[in-house]
Amino acid sequence: MRPSKRLERIPPYAFAELERKIAEKRAAGVDVISLGIGDPDRPTPALIVEAMQEAVTEPETHQYPSNRGREDFRGAVRDFYARRFDVALDPEREIIPAIGAKEAIFNLNLAFLDPGDYALAADPGYPVYTGGPWLAGAEPVLMALEPELGFVPDLGAIDEDVARRSKLMYLNYPNNPTGALAPEGFFQRVVDFARAYEILVVHDNSYSEIAFDGYRPPSFLATPGAKEVGVEVFSLSKGYNMTGWRCAVLVGNAEALDTYWRLKTNVDSGLFDAVQLAAIAALSPQADGEVASMTELYRRRRDLVCDALRKIGVDVHPPHATIYVWAPVPQGYESSTAYCEHVLEQAGVVITPGAVYGPAGEGWFRISLTTPDERLLEAVQRLGALAK
Ligand SMILES: *Cc1c(COP(=O)(O)O)cnc(C)c1O
């Protein structure tokens, strides 16, 4: 058996070695606490689960869904975008359900890239921004997120030829893994750049609903001209504790959505109608309180982690959004991987080396806030003891 050349180009799964070590530690009786993966620990809010329960009892949901999405689902997305982001969307042409953000991001590569094309990808960034272009036979080109610029790429530093050959640009604010918000004016510069080089911007909006300290992260589509050059993937996974449900929506440029839809009709058969009905409940104003209380939980955990890190001399900036704390590796370690291995070895705590998210992540590590409070506290105490 020989895998395709496309698949062989994908670097080995970055967490594989770490997972092996965790399994080894656990087998040896070590109480390992994982602050690695970003997967909300709290259950999906009851009003969403109840909407699902009701929906699955309706035989009309048991048949193939439409790949364009239910009319009531698209209406709920339109209402949510208007209410939350002040963005007007046409439900007929500017909204399509996706089987998670990962599906939409991956399939956009197949829909838009040919061999020889480039896709500009945030570095550090979500792995599909590079794996997707590779699997489409194209090339990802990394754009380093500059800490001094507030973790955005320096668009002016992108090579002219590279820009011309690029057909897609992946961005994500609030950002995983850095926790950064898009600085004032940045989205406008992205629109101007995309227009100049005819690039389709794919804004990954997986974290807009998890923000603290009074911040309300905007949609990329609220930027003047954004809809002419871009699409946005809005995922329900993180903000609504729905990672297992596989529910997201692709919104924005109608021509891009039509192209994505043409590809998608050849790949999958749409989002389960019952999940669409549950998503309507999630996007309704009735769920706002649930989102607010989850956000408050993450804020408390953020403060807990950042206070503890500061006490052990880590110069951490508390993030205003997302479920992650991104911090510099303490002095004296050869790499982020070496530090994270040391922490696992000595403290039984799993944290993620920044290099996993791309070369610009080297020198940093990520802590996910999706672990129950008492375990998070215990992990942080172990980190403190380790530093002494
Ligand atoms: C978690 C995550 C996703 C995946 O979202 P799904 O809707 O669960 O597929 C996409 N992008 C980023 C940046 C993420 O952190």
Q: Torsion angle of alpha carbons 284, 288, 290, 294, nearest 10°?
A: 130
In angstroms, what is the span from residue 206 Cα to ligand 1's centroid?
6
The answer for residues whose C-beta is within 8 angstroms of residue 60's C-beta and 6 or more apart is: 273
320 and 379 fall within a common domain: yes
DSSP string, 335-363: -HHHHHHHHHHHH-EE-EEGGGG-GGGTT
Instruction: Confirm if 79 and 105 have CB atoms less than 8 A apart.
Output: no
Instruction: Confirm if 9 and 138 have CB atoms less than 8 A apart.
Output: no
24 and 62 fall within a common domain: no
268 and 304 fall within a common domain: no
Ligand 1, residue 235: give the atom nearest the CA: 7
In angstroms, what is the span from residue 74 Cα to ligand 1's centroid?
20
DSSP string, 167-232: EEEEE-SS-TTT-PPPPTTHHHHHHHHHHHHT-EEEEEESSTT-B-TT--PPPGGGSTTHHHHEEE
Dihedral pair phi/psi, residue 349, rounded to 5°: -115, 130
Domain boundary among 253, 285, 317: 285
Domain boundary among 285, 307, 325: 285
Instruction: Confirm if 201 and 220 have CB atoms less than 8 A apart.
Output: yes
316 and 267 fall within a common domain: no
360 and 246 fall within a common domain: no
Find out whether the beta carbon of 100 lies less than 6 Å from any atom of ligand 1.
Answer: yes
Which amino acid residue places its CA nearest to atom 14 of ligand 1?
206
Which amino acid residue places its CA nearest to atom 15 of ligand 1?
176
Q: What is the residue range of 328's domain? A: 5-43+288-387
What local confidence, expressed as pLDDT, does residue 48 receive?
Answer: 98
How far is Cα 289 from Cα 241, in angstroms, rounded to an integer?
14
253 and 356 fall within a common domain: no
**Confidence class of residue 386 from pLDDT cuts 50, 70 and 90?**
confident
**What does the pLDDT average to over 242-266?**
98
Domain boundary among 262, 285, 308: 285
Portion of the chain with pLDDT greater than 90, in percent: 90
**What does the pLDDT average to over 290-300?**
97
How far is Cα 246 from Cα 307, in angstroms, rounded to an integer?
34
Does residue 378 register a pLDDT over 80?
yes
133 and 173 fall within a common domain: yes
326 and 228 fall within a common domain: no
Instruction: Give the least confident one: 15-24, 65-74, 134-143.
Output: 15-24
278 and 326 fall within a common domain: no
Write the single-letter amino acid at 133: P
Portion of the chain with pLDDT greater than 70, in percent: 99
Write the single-letter amino acid at 91: P
How far is Cα 191 from Cα 199, in angstroms, rounded to an integer?
9
105 and 71 fall within a common domain: yes
199 and 215 fall within a common domain: yes
Number of structural domains (the chain) is 2
pLDDT (tens digit, 9 = 90+) per residue, 161-191? 999 999 999 999 999 999 999 999 999 999 9
Does residue 267 register a pLDDT over 90?
yes
In angstroms, what is the span from residue 351 Cα to ligand 1's centroid?
19
Both structure tokens of 382: 């172990």
Find out whether the beta carbon of 248 lies less than 6 Å from any atom of ligand 1.
Answer: yes
Write out the H or E segment, with its range, that includes residue 273.
Answer: helix 273-283
DSSP string, 84-117: II-----TTTSEEEESSHHHHHHHHHHHH--TT-
Dihedral pair phi/psi, residue 255, rounded to 5°: -70, -40
User: Which CATH number fits the domain that encloses residue 58?
Assistant: 3.40.640.10
What local confidence, expressed as pLDDT, does residue 13 receive?
Answer: 66
Substitution site in 37, 172, 206, 232 for ligand 1 pocket (most atoms within 8 Å of beta carbon) = 206
pLDDT (tens digit, 9 = 90+) per residue, 326-353? 999 998 999 999 999 999 999 999 999 9
CB atoms within 10 A of CB 148: 6
Instruction: Confirm if 39 and 206 have CB atoms less than 8 A apart.
Output: no
What local confidence, expressed as pLDDT, does residue 18 receive?
Answer: 75
What local confidence, expressed as pLDDT, does residue 172 receive?
Answer: 98
Distances from the Cα of 266 to the Cα of 67, 75, 153, 255, angstroms = 10, 25, 34, 18
Does residue 385 register a pLDDT over 90?
no
Does residue 12 register a pLDDT over 90?
no
Instruction: Confirm if 202 and 169 have CB atoms less than 8 A apart.
Output: yes
CB atoms within 10 A of CB 350: 24
pLDDT (tens digit, 9 = 90+) per residue, 104-162? 999 999 999 999 999 999 999 999 999 999 999 999 999 999 999 999 999 999 999 99
User: Which CATH number fits the domain that encloses residue 294?
Assistant: 3.90.1150.10
**What does the pLDDT average to over 355-359?**
94
Instruction: Confirm if 64 and 217 have CB atoms less than 8 A apart.
Output: no
72 and 30 fall within a common domain: no
What local confidence, expressed as pLDDT, does residue 58 receive?
Answer: 97
